[in-house]
Chains A and B, each alone.
Chain A
Amino acid sequence: MTTDALARPVRVRTAPLRRISSQSGLNTAAGHLLMVLLSIFCLFPVYWMLVSSFRPANAMFETSLWPTQGSLENYTTAIDAIPIARMLLNTLVFSAVSTVFQLLTGILAAFAFARWKFPFDKLVYTGVALTWLVPFQVVMIPNYLLVAHMGLLDSILALILPNIAAALAIMLLAQAMRGFPKEVIEAARMDGASNWRILWEVLVPNLRGTIASLAILIFISTWNEYFWPLLLSRTAENSVIQIGIQMFMTAEGNAWGPLMAASTLASLPVLVIYVVLQRQVVQSFMKSGIR
């Protein structure tokens, strides 16, 4: 589902031919201004979340753009109100297990598509690709009923089950495997390697870049998943952090300080991944398009 432009990694632009124009300096300044404005728009809400989360309760409604005094009061209040540690752990299990399984099923299925021609292969591939376009809201009632029927409501296992395989992982891996030099595979086959060994000892080690960026993408999107947990959760102990955040926003009123503290805690793992692997994260999202 990616166009060529998306599939290509962001590349360093080839040096433009030097322009001799008196206007270009002014243009560049205006360009910087535009980007700075966009950057402020994009980053300010996140900044404001951090600043608010460290304000003491009696200074919550201050509007100074930077904190005048720091306090962890909001964090302790939030931790007392809901089992945050448990919820973060649940979210971690949900995201990590989903990531591992999606990669596993993706690698196996992609190998089948890349290695063999078999009856209906194109049809099956299209069938896989089409699931990418089915909105979750369309299948949610039957999915919910299925989970209820299995007696798995309010469990992390039920959150994971529909995430065991995904079209995106299969398609991106199949693309990568098709692009892998056939001579290498052929050479391994000559040495008597079975398909299973070719997959795990030749293809997978060589595609670890693709697999790693896919892993980042799946992990972050699963971590941020809200809708499916919302359907299944019954108790705080068995739900994920995204549901926990929601508990601070009620019709009666909002506990702004603890809400910002819980939001910060929920964002921290993803933000840490982003700070450490910024380039890879951006690239993995851009390769896969939006969703």
Chain B
Amino acid sequence: MAIAIATPARLRRKSHARWSPWLYLAPALITLLVWIYWPLVDAARLSFYQWNMLPNSPQTFVGWENYQRIFALPKFWQALRNTGVYILGLLPLAVLIPLAIAIYTHDLPERSRNIYRAIIFVPMIIAPVVAAAVWRWLLDPGYGLANQAIKGLGFDPVKFLSDPDTAIWTVIVITGWKLMGFSTLILSAANANINPTLIEAARMDGAGKWEIIRDVRLPLLSSTVLFLVVMTILLGAQWSFTYINVLTGGGPLGATTNIYYLLWDFGFSTMSVGWGSASAVILFLGFGVIAFVLFRLIDRYSFHDN
């Protein structure tokens, strides 16, 4: 990924060539510095202050107090646990089921594959707010189609979004709905890229259908699978943000609040810049460590199909 075009020596001798790359880079780098790197530094600084975001109220230095308070907050641990539930709940929807479907449907004819592909991709381009609105309508306890059907079958209506035990799973399924078709497409593409002679060779050796999947397909798909797992772990809780915000507001009783939503809650509902920034720093460092470990794992454990 990082192989630069070898520069001809003649060019390097010209003195203006030393500045050229920086001129070309400037607009992008300045934007990223102003809107990402500087805010990171600023968030770290603000995490040591107490401030309510009003321009003329004072910023008071409080040291590590924000951090201590957050770690002592049951709400924080609940949000952390929920973040784990989001990730674990999303893995089957964003990785396992798509993997099974991709392997199972690999020998469908080209024409019908294209039609399926066009359809299952649709949720990916639908705006999260629109998705939230439609699911809210489908799942409405009184008039939603889902509950009409459940009532029609003679059961009690389900409070998909207002029951503390159910709400988080509802949000997970909606997040999964957005990703499932897309993951299937990615895995199907990887599956279709497996060299057919490898499969044929295994078959010649007397391998059965399951052995081919277990010993040939799965190992060759492992880098794609691992990539999707990493994305789900790193971004899973983030993807669900809009649905939490629009559908449950983090409730009922904090049951759907994950760590990203907690950040939002601290910063913009309670206007506590210090708490918001401190949890941003905790989140950033936490996920940074996880990302580092996961990308190392990818390097080490993925097989490559040449």
Give me the interface of A with B, judged by CB distance under 8 Å.
Answer: 3-6, 8, 10-14, 16-17, 24, 27-28, 30-32, 34-35, 38-39, 41-43, 45-46, 48-49, 52, 60-61, 63, 104-106, 108-109, 111-118, 121-122, 124-125, 127-128, 131, 133-135, 137-146, 148, 161-162, 164-165, 167, 170, 175, 178, 182, 185-186, 189, 195, 220, 223-224, 226-227, 230-231, 242, 245-246, 248-249, 254, 256, 259-260, 263, 266-267, 270-271, 274, 278, 281-282, 285-286, 289-291
Q: Which residue of B lies closest to A5 (CB)?
A: B190
Contact B280 A137 (CB under 8 A): yes
Contact A145 B53 (CB under 8 A): yes
In the complex, given contacts A11-B192, A165-B31, what are 12 additional A-B residue pairs having Cβ atoms less than 8 angstroms apart? A48-B137, A112-B20, A121-B21, A128-B28, A137-B263, A139-B280, A141-B267, A165-B27, A227-B242, A230-B245, A254-B140, A290-B182
A sample of 11 cross-chain residue pairs with beta-carbon separation below 8 angstroms, ordered by A number, consists of A17-B196, A38-B120, A41-B177, A49-B130, A105-B28, A116-B4, A134-B36, A139-B40, A142-B46, A161-B35, A245-B133
Contact B186 A115 (CB under 8 A): no
Within 8 A of A (CB), among B6-50: 6-8, 12, 17-18, 20-22, 24-25, 27-29, 31-32, 34-40, 42-43, 46
A216 CB to nearest B CB, Å: 10
Q: What's the Cα separation between A276 and B37 when bound, in Å? A: 38
Contact B5 A115 (CB under 8 A): yes
Chain B interface helix/strand/loop/mixed = helix
Q: Is B241 among interface residues, defined by CB-CB distance under 8 A? A: yes
On chain B, the residues within 8 Å of A114 by CB distance are 4-5
Contact B129 A11 (CB under 8 A): no
Q: A5-B186, A227-B242, A290-B182 are in contact. Are A165 and B53 (CB under 8 A)?
A: no
Contact B124 A131 (CB under 8 A): no
On chain B, the residues within 8 Å of A231 by CB distance are 268
Contact A118 B134 (CB under 8 A): no
Q: What's the Cα separation between A138 and B237 when bound, in Å? A: 13
Q: A48-B134, A122-B2 are in contact. Are A109 and B40 (CB under 8 A)?
A: no
Q: A52-B137, A112-B21 are in contact. Are A11 and B32 (CB under 8 A)?
A: no
Contact B137 A286 (CB under 8 A): no
Interface centre among A6, A112, A285 (most CB of B within 10 A): A112
Q: What's the Cα separation between A186 and B11 when bound, in Å? A: 12
On chain A, the residues within 8 Å of B107 by CB distance are 16, 24, 27-28, 31
Contact bitstring B128-144, A, C-beta under 8 A = 1, else 0: 11110111111010010
Q: Is B301 among interface residues, defined by CB-CB distance under 8 A? A: no
Q: Is B238 among interface residues, defined by CB-CB distance under 8 A? A: yes
Within 8 A of A (CB), among B186-240: 186, 188-190, 192-193, 196, 200, 223-224, 227, 231, 234-235, 238
Q: A13-B110, A38-B101, A41-B177 are in contact. Are A178 and B5 (CB under 8 A)?
A: yes
Contact B284 A109 (CB under 8 A): no
Q: What's the Cα separation between A170 and B124 when bound, in Å? A: 23
Contact A138 B40 (CB under 8 A): yes
Instruction: Give which listed residue, A13, A170, A178, A249, contacts B136 with CB less than 8 A.
Output: A249
Q: What's the Cα separation between A231 and B276 when bound, in Å? A: 14
Q: A42-B181, A141-B280 are in contact. Are A13 and B1 (CB under 8 A)?
A: no
Contact A17 B28 (CB under 8 A): no
Q: What's the Cα separation between A290 and B233 when bound, in Å? A: 12
B137 CB to nearest A CB, Å: 6
A259 CB to nearest B CB, Å: 5
Q: A133-B291, A267-B130 are in contact. Are A108 and B35 (CB under 8 A)?
A: no
On chain B, the residues within 8 Å of A224 by CB distance are 125-129
Instruction: Give which listed residue, B179, B186, B242, contacts A226 with CB less than 8 A.
Output: B242
Q: Which residue of B lies closest to A8 (CB)?
A: B193
Contact B134 A49 (CB under 8 A): yes
Q: What's the Cα separation between A95 and B156 when bound, in Å? A: 44
On chain B, the residues within 8 Å of A182 by CB distance are 5
Q: What's the Cα separation between A13 and B12 when bound, in Å? A: 45
Contact B32 A31 (CB under 8 A): no
A151 CB to nearest B CB, Å: 11
Contact bitstring B149-162, A, C-beta under 8 A = 1, else 0: 10000000000000
Q: A35-B105, A52-B137, A131-B32 are in contact. Are A42 and B1 (CB under 8 A)?
A: no
Q: Is B167 among interface residues, defined by CB-CB distance under 8 A? A: no
Q: What's the Cα separation between A137 and B263 when bound, in Å? A: 7
On chain B, the residues within 8 Å of A6 by CB distance are 186, 189-190, 224, 227
On chain B, the residues within 8 Å of A146 by CB distance are 34-35, 39
Q: Is B77 among interface residues, defined by CB-CB distance under 8 A? A: no
Instruction: Give which listed residue, B43, B133, B138, B288, contacts A249 with CB less than 8 A.
Output: B133
On chain A, the residues within 8 Å of B273 by CB distance are 141
